């Protein structure tokens, strides 16, 4: 059925809350799981030099580059928090699910518009792209470019046969080390203890990472935000579930 432009405009208005001016997640729902090994349809650059970051960040300067990456950013709650906490840093969210990434893009556009009269630069330091981070990170980032990477509440892929789909594994850790600068940090958070043990085991086995101490974790200003800033984290808090945190330094 062909929809008219008037109907499409009505759908767009319906998807935006009249109270908050932000898109409503219920219009962007899709399956919680996505097969990262499947051949999804993605447009991706051949090399980092081909990325036009100015199309995502209106105010980015020629000498600026993306330094924070929220891998599997979900509905963008933590990404928005990063933008607010670090206005001088450029942060990117990467999400494989098409409707979810569409929501984050629309959410950022709405936040920019909403805050424009008060602060014209607000939220112009964050953006989201739909991609498969397990395959294409080196296509976007140069060696040693990233200062921080975040893996918050990743898909646990409970079945043993699907453990190879977990975003933390030995092969991918080398790739993450490539795009992460020396001294950079990898933040991991999950509510699944088995997955947490898997992450810690694989990170400890890799020669390019060391886990930071609990004291360093508690002193990091980002740590408190990891528990509730993301939608998944907030849900765990509401359900009084457990959080398992581990932060690792790139050697």
129 phi and psi angles, rounded to 5 deg = -130, 145
Q: Helix (H) and strand (E) counts for the chain?
A: 9, 7
Distance CA 136, CA 154 (A): 17
DSSP state letter for 36: T
* Whole-number Å distance between alpha carbons of 90 and 126: 6
How crowded is residue 47: how many other Cβ atoms within 10 Å of its Cβ?
10
Strands lying side by side in the sheet with 90-95: 126-130, 90-95, 66-71, 146-152, 180-190, 244-250, 209-211
Task: Tell whether the torsion through CA atoms of 222, 228, 100 and 56 is positive or negative.
Answer: negative
Q: Does 220 participate in catalysis according to the annotation? A: no
Active-site pick, 70, 106, 155, 191: 155
| Partners of 94 in beta bridges | 71, 129
Catalytic residues: 155
């Amino acid at each position: 059925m062909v929809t008219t432009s008037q109907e499409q405009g009505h759908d767009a208005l319906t998807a935006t809350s009249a109270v908050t001016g932000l898109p409503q997640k219920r219009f962007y729902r899709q399956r919680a799981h996505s097969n990262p090994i499947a051949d999804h349809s993605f447009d991706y650059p051949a090399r980092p030099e081909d990325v036009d970051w100015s199309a995502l960040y209106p105010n980015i300067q020629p000498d600026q580059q993306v330094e924070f990456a929220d891998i599997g950013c979900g509905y963008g709650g933590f990404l928005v928090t990063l933008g607010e906490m670090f206005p001088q840093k450029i942060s990117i969210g990467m999400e494989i699910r098409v409707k979810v990434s569409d929501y984050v893009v629309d959410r950022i556009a709405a936040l920019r518009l909403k805050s424009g009269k008060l602060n014209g630069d607000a939220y112009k330091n964050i953006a989201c792209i739909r991609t498969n981070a397990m395959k294409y990170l080196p296509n976007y980032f140069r060696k040693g470019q990233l200062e921080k990477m975040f893996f918050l509440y990743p898909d646990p892929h409970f079945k043993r046969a699907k453990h190879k789909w977990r975003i933390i594994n030995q092969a991918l850790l080398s790739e993450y080390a490539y795009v992460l600068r020396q001294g950079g940090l990898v933040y991991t958070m999950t509510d699944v203890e088995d997955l947490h043990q898997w992450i810690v085991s694989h990170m400890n086995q890799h020669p390019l990472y060391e886990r930071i101490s609990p004291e360093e974790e508690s002193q990091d200003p980002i740590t408190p935000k990891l528990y509730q800033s993301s939608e998944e984290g907030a849900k765990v808090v509401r359900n009084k579930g457990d959080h398992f945190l581990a932060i690792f330094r790139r050697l």
